[in-house]
Structure 1
Amino acid sequence: MKKTRLILADDHQIIVEGLKGVLSTEPDIELIGTAADGRELVEMAFKYRPDVIIVDISMPLLNGIDATEQMIRDGLKSKIIILTMHNDAMYAARAFDAGASGYVLKHSAPNELVKAIREVLRGHNYITPLVDGEIIRGYRSGSNKNLNLSRKLTTRQKEVLSMLAEGFTAKEIGKKLHISVRTVEFHKYKMMEELGIDSSAELIMFAVKHKLTEP
């Protein structure tokens, strides 16, 4: 029997261990790796090219939705399931627009995650019943202003923005991303220019308001 190869990305170890327990009961699923941040996930995904990736939204360096968008844009064929605490139509819509195939809430029953894995492997999309389908459809048919604003930013800019919102200094961001402080500042002011924002504080407030990153 061919096993489904799976990668799990979440920065909370207690969640990772709990999911390992859930997945270990499924003889046809093999967990081949775990990642604690978005950049590590992207590197691991292209190295191992699993069948399925389960990823949290709120992760350091690169959140789960932006990591999903980057992987799909760069040609990864893995099915991606967002596993999150956010019972929010906007997050769900952004996840599917980024290329995810599934959206499951962390407080759902464990067997729902397994069901989602089965569904996406069949080529179907899966969204938890706990997120109102009518809200999702209404959001998708309405204004996509937040999504369009997000698409103005490059992947590197989103990384910088995410870390700024987490409270890292330009020096700390440069060290973690292996770029100079000057480059960090360039990305920050480029984002401010693109979005019509006048200060660093407004930039972070914009990111939180439009759910482009997790503070």
Structure 2
Amino acid sequence: MCATRPRVVFADDHRMVAEGITRLLDGRYELAALAQDGHALLAHVRKEAPDLVLSDINMPGCNGLDVLKILRSEGNTVPFVFLTMHAEPALAATAMRTGANGYVLKLSAGEELLVALQQVLDGRSYVTPSLGARYLRGHMGDLHELTPKQREVLRLVGTGLRSKQIAAQLGLSVRTVEAHKYTIMQILDVHSTLELVRRSEELGLFF
């Protein structure tokens, strides 16, 4: 018996792009709906309850970021991937902070997009590598100032260990571990352990 293909709602107001991506997805994904503006995208996601959303950012009526904000405010956690021509690391960071699971450049569309979609469906995040590297360089000076112990704490946070477990493994107090985490969180501009893990994954710090 064939496995059920993941259902995707796709949004892009450029016909040629939409047709090309639709062909790329064919055979691997079931296209639940195709939208050409943000309002239609929001309606389709609410109606179809897809496994994945793939969307441009700039669209008529309501842009992709606004659609994502609305969905997340409603408690909708559907995996959401942006496919865009905008190659600004700051915009990619904003999208991921808003709740996106992936950010792929249209110039990279093809095999990379398929890899990104699979990673997101597997519960991971994906940012086009060149963007992740450029964003990381903005923090690189501070990251080089981390002590070896702080780097080890970050690595163990990425394995899913809690502060008490990390403290026991490194022979530190829980308070010291929390202090190290706080320092790293300030550098990466995040405000919780969940955000720290997610941002570190986006930037490839656990690989």
Identify the residue that residue 5 of structure 1 maps to in structure 2: 7
Alpha-carbon shift at residue 77 of structure 1 (Å): 2.4
Identify the residue that residue 74 of structure 1 maps to in structure 2: 74
Identify the residue that residue 52 of structure 1 maps to in structure 2: 52
Alpha-carbon shift at residue 76 of structure 1 (Å): 1.4
CA change 1:9–1:56 in 2 (3 A) is same
Aligned partner letter, 2:131: V
Between the aligned residues of both structures, percent identity stands at 37
Identify the residue that residue 103 of structure 1 maps to in structure 2: 103
Q: Distance in 1 between matches of 2:187 and 2:69?
A: 21
Aligned partner letter, 2:90: M
Structure 2 unaligned runs (5+)?
A: 140-185, 191-207
CA change 1:136–1:43 in 2 (3 A) is farther
Q: Distance in 2 between matches of 1:80 and 1:136?
A: 22
CA change 1:88–1:136 in 2 (3 A) is farther
Aligned partner letter, 1:40: A
Q: Cα RMSD between the aligned structures?
A: 2.1
Contact 2:89 2:134 in 1 (8 A): no
Larger Rg belongs to: 2
Q: Distance in 1 between matches of 2:98 and 2:49?
A: 18
Alpha-carbon shift at residue 106 of structure 1 (Å): 0.2
Q: TM-score, normalised by structure 2?
A: 0.64
List structure 1 runs of 4+ shifted beyond 4 angstroms. 139-144
CA change 1:63–1:136 in 2 (3 A) is farther
Q: TM-score, normalised by structure 1?
A: 0.61
Identify the residue that residue 92 of structure 2 maps to in structure 1: 92
Query: Greater RCO between the two (CA within 8 Å, min separation 6)?
Result: 1
